[in-house]
Amino acid sequence: MSTALHIAPPRARAKYQDNPATREAPWVRFTLLALGLGFFAIFLLLPLVAVFTEALRKGWAMYFAALADEETMSAIRLTLTAAVIAVPLNLVFGVTAAWLIAKHEFRGKQFLITLIDLPFSVSPVVAGLMYVLIFGAQGWLGPWLQEHDVKIIFAVPGIVLATIFVTFPFVARELIPLMQAQGKDEEEAATVLGASGWQTFRRVTLPNIKWGLLYGVILCNARAMGEFGAVSVVSGHVRGLTNTLPLHVEILYNEYQFAAAFAVASLLALLALVTLVIKQIVEWRASQSNSKDA
């Protein structure tokens, strides 16, 4: 705060000084800073360091051997497959739902918003059980699926469905407030000038939401690749077939293969770090774009 006062212009300094929220004693600021940094170090940084330390405890050879294992490669492929299918579908759904909610008025609008928030309020394990209830052998559609030799539960389709369910709010929830804040004046002007619906979306709406859209896709992809609860219920834990990376880590750890478990877990940790870096870049580019527009 002292730095902000030092570099701020006179009017900004007066604003800082006149604001009661910025006149706390120095010991209060230092205490809050120490608490924040301590929480970060204990609950975030220390576990992250522990993952990489344990992963490399037996050397690089063991680390790369664990990653090159056939079952690990199968888990990586399945995780990527689920993300590659779920993220584009949620991208289409998120843009469509945000456009509908932000640009139009209709009956049941609040109900649709509530449904979008449903995966945030329902436990992923419960979501997985819902799919078992519908598509399982004793579920509503189970007999018909067995009769036609269609496998959903304990197979790749079930994993994809569970991944889609737990990740579909992310894109929509990023775009809805953004589109509502922007209003619909520009789209209406484009329509009056003769632009088609697709031209309006491509040339007016999409440029305005591109950073929020990219941000939502990043979060959606990170959740898709790290999902455990719902996928664990519908996967059946078939090694080499229906185990994603988080499930593979659990199996290795339960079998006391700690070095291999932490080696595979380090991939997910690296994914989290890369996601944070990309997120910061997107936020910086968005702020730069907004400042230029202003």
Is 216 in contact with 94 (CB distance < 8 Å)? yes
Residue 2 is predicted with a pLDDT of: 42
pLDDT > 70? residue 211: yes
Contacts 24+ apart (CB under 8 A), 110-113: 113/176
Quick one: tokens of 121? 């309020």
Query: What does the pLDDT look like over 82-129, one tens digit per residue?
Result: 999 999 999 999 999 999 998 888 888 889 899 999 999 899 999 999
CA separation for the pair 294, 291 (Å, rounded): 5
Single pTM value for the model:
0.83
- The DSSP result for 62-80, as a single string, is HHHHHHHSHHHHHHHHHHH
Compute CA distances 58 → 64, 83, 210, 258, 274, whole Å: 11, 31, 44, 10, 25
Q: Between 131 and 4, where is the model more confident?
A: 131
CA separation for the pair 248, 226 (Å, rounded): 12
Compute CA distances 105 → 108, 113, 166, 174, 245, whole Å: 9, 13, 27, 19, 42
Compute CA distances 67 → 58, 76, 264, 268, 271, whole Å: 13, 9, 6, 12, 15
Query: What does the pLDDT look like over 57-75, one tens digit per residue?
Result: 999 999 999 999 999 999 9
Q: What one-letter code names the amino acid at 189? A: A
Across 10-14, 15-19, 246-250, which has the greatest mean pLDDT?
246-250
pLDDT > 60? residue 23: yes
Residue 3 is predicted with a pLDDT of: 42
pLDDT > 70? residue 16: no
Q: What one-letter code names the amino acid at 86? A: A
pLDDT > 50? residue 12: no
Helix (H) or strand (E) holding 89: helix 70-103
Q: What one-letter code names the amino acid at 83? A: A
Q: How confident is the prediction for the chain on average, in pLDDT?
A: 87
Residue 18 is predicted with a pLDDT of: 54
Fold of 59-293: MetI-like fold (1.10.3720)
Residue 8 is predicted with a pLDDT of: 45
Largest CA distance in the chain: 78
Is 162 in contact with 233 (CB distance < 8 Å)? yes
Residue 197 is predicted with a pLDDT of: 80
DSSP state of 155: S
Q: What one-letter code names the amino acid at 263? A: A
Query: What does the pLDDT look like over 123-164, one tens digit per residue?
Result: 999 999 999 999 998 889 999 999 999 999 999 999 999 999
